[in-house]
Amino acid sequence: MHEKTAKPSSTSLSAGLSVREAQACILGKATPLGTEDISLERALGRVLAVDIRANRDLPPCDISAMDGYAVRAADIANAPVTLQIVDDIRAGDAPRAALRRGQCARIMTGAPVPGGADTVVRVEDTRPSPDDAVEILVPVPAAADIRRRAENMRQGEIVLRAGTSIGPGTVGVLATVKQATVTVYRQPCVAILSSGNELEALREPFDPARIPDTNTYALMAQVQAQGVEPERLGITRDDPAELSGFLERGLANDLLLISGGASVGVHDHVRPTLAALGVAMHFWRVEMRPGHPAAFGTLGHTLVFCLPGNPVSSMVCFEQFVLPALRALTGHQHLFRRTVPARLTQSIKSRPGRVEFVRVTLTRNASGIYEAVHAGSQSSGDILGMARADGLLIVPSASKGLATGETARVQLLETGAYQAESDLGDGV
Ligand code: AMP
Ligand code: MG
């Protein structure tokens, strides 16, 4: 796909890549996995690996869009006029015969329009008349309320392209063209490992001296939000032998996420242990805050992400690096979170040198403009900020901060797509 190799922004690798360079480096190694055939009922959230064609014309013939009477437009040009009812056509019926002058057919929505008829008059525009007749009250132009043969899709035409993400509407199309089995890109196997002697597992007894393992579950949820079910490897202590055992298991996957232990402390063994297992590291610093010690390597086709231990850093790095990789592996064409411009209703300080991802909540003002406010504490250890955030506001690396009223880009997180009120605008 993207066979670019990222060049470090400085001659020294320890200076770290820019976020953009790091993304390019990762995406150069993340090509879609193979394909598999799955049943349509399981296809939501997957990506089509083949073009899909219509297997029939739809509608298969001219059909009525309304309950009413199929007539010859010329017969009713001087309505009101009374016509003889010669047929009663329901959806699924075949019309008995073509209409002759002065005749009409009672017709239901979805029923085939009989020969001779060129328009449909709605029931509301008619009045029953004795002796199998009906009074047509208004003239109707030709072709009214008729859905033409193949106006929705024509047999053989491509209705969905390979690379389409399958949403509920896509599932509807696939069912319509009778794709009971769908060829999609395979889902990656993703393993998640937390590292640190201090970590207390979710179901371990409470110990006030330890730190709860946040990252395993936050990262699992980020993967699950992409429709992929990860494997939880658990917690490894900061011990090279134990770590090595866990990593070996993790490296059997398409994607391995390790949080913690990737910095340069004497007890941070992740990078050397990965290297000892043959993983080639492509970068190990990114000029961002939070998330500076993010690292990325590969072993064969396996992508390995070392995420910083602080829960917010690990989640922010997931958003920038793991998410696009995961989406590339699963065949998605849109790899990145949507960004929107937002007006700051508060100033934001920043230290120049690294791009900063600020957790913000978003609201829309009366003119539809996004307004951003801090989502509370910006500590990279404070998971509460991440839980509250609707988005990550991007402060460019050269900036010393942004003033109230300035506009910045905000990367939208999963939240924020819903609102409290059913606000459909006027006239609804
Ligand atoms: P490290 O990257 O291992 O130096 O860890 C940085 C900080 O993140 C330390 O305060 C760790 O206790 C914390 N940390 C590491 N892993 C986790 C985790 N899985 N859940 C919550 N906090 C963590
Ligand atoms: Mg640690």
**Gap between the Cα atoms of 354 and 146, Å rounded:** 62
Predicted pLDDT of residue 14: 58
Copy the structure tokens of residue 85.
């009812």
Question: Which of 193, 195, 199 should be mutated for ligand 1, with most atoms under 8 A from CB?
Answer: 199
The fraction of the chain above a pLDDT of 90, given in percent, is: 91
Predicted pLDDT of residue 416: 67
The ligand 1 site (C-beta within 6 Å) comprises 194, 196, 198-199, 211, 213-216, 259-263, 308-311
pLDDT band at 7 (very low <50, low <70, confident <90, very high): very low
Q: Is the pLDDT of residue 10 over 70?
A: no
Max alpha carbon distance in the chain (Å)?
A: 99
Query: CATH number of 38-57+159-185: 3.40.640.10, 2.30.130.10, 3.65.10.10, 3.90.105.10?
Result: 3.90.105.10
Predicted pLDDT of residue 286: 97
Predicted pLDDT of residue 60: 97
Per residue in 86-95, pLDDT tens? 999 999 999 9
Predicted pLDDT of residue 232: 98
Average pLDDT over residues 371-382: 93
**Long-range contacts (CB closer than 8 Å, 24 or more residues apart) made by 266-270:** 267/197, 267/238, 268/238, 269/238, 269/239, 269/240, 269/243, 270/195, 270/243, 270/295, 270/306
Task: Report residue 383: phi and psi, to 5°.
Answer: -65, -20
Ligand 2 center–CA 295 separation, angstroms: 15
CATH class, 336-419 region: mainly beta
Per residue in 269-323, pLDDT tens? 999 999 999 999 999 999 999 999 999 999 999 999 999 999 999 999 999 999 9
Average pLDDT over residues 68-72: 98
Q: Is the pLDDT of residue 3 over 70?
A: no
Question: Which of 195, 202, 215, 270 should be mutated for ligand 1, with most atoms under 8 A from CB?
Answer: 215
Half-sphere exposure of 205 (CA within 13 A, CB side): 1
Q: Is the pLDDT of residue 85 over 50?
A: yes
The whole-chain average pLDDT of the chain stands at 95
Higher pLDDT pick, 264 / 175 = 175
pLDDT band at 417 (very low <50, low <70, confident <90, very high): confident
Predicted pLDDT of residue 414: 83
| Architecture field, domain 10-33+189-329 | 3-Layer(aba) Sandwich (3.40)
Per residue in 188-201, pLDDT tens? 999 999 999 999 99
Question: Which of 195, 211, 313 should be mutated for ligand 1, with most atoms under 8 A from CB?
Answer: 211
Domain coordinates in residue numbering, the chain: 10-33+189-329, 38-57+159-185, 63-147, 336-419
Ligand 1 center–CA 325 separation, angstroms: 23
Query: CATH number of 63-147: 2.170.190.11, 3.40.640.10, 3.40.190.10, 2.60.120.260?
Result: 2.170.190.11
Higher pLDDT pick, 262 / 60 = 60
Predicted pLDDT of residue 421: 86
The protein residue with its alpha carbon nearest to ligand 1, atom 15, reads 309
pLDDT band at 377 (very low <50, low <70, confident <90, very high): confident
Q: Is cis: bond before 188, omega within 30 of 0?
A: no
Q: Is the pLDDT of residue 23 over 80?
A: yes
The protein residue with its alpha carbon nearest to ligand 1, atom 11, reads 309
Q: Identify which of 301, 304, 321, 325 has the alpha carbon closest to the alpha carbon of residue 313.
A: 321
Predicted pLDDT of residue 9: 42
Predicted pLDDT of residue 217: 98
Per residue in 138-183, pLDDT tens? 999 999 999 999 999 999 999 999 999 999 999 999 999 999 999 9
Q: Is 197 helix (H, G, I), strand (E, B) or coil?
A: coil
The fraction of the chain above a pLDDT of 70, given in percent, is: 96
Per residue in 102-134, pLDDT tens? 999 999 999 999 999 999 999 999 999 999 999
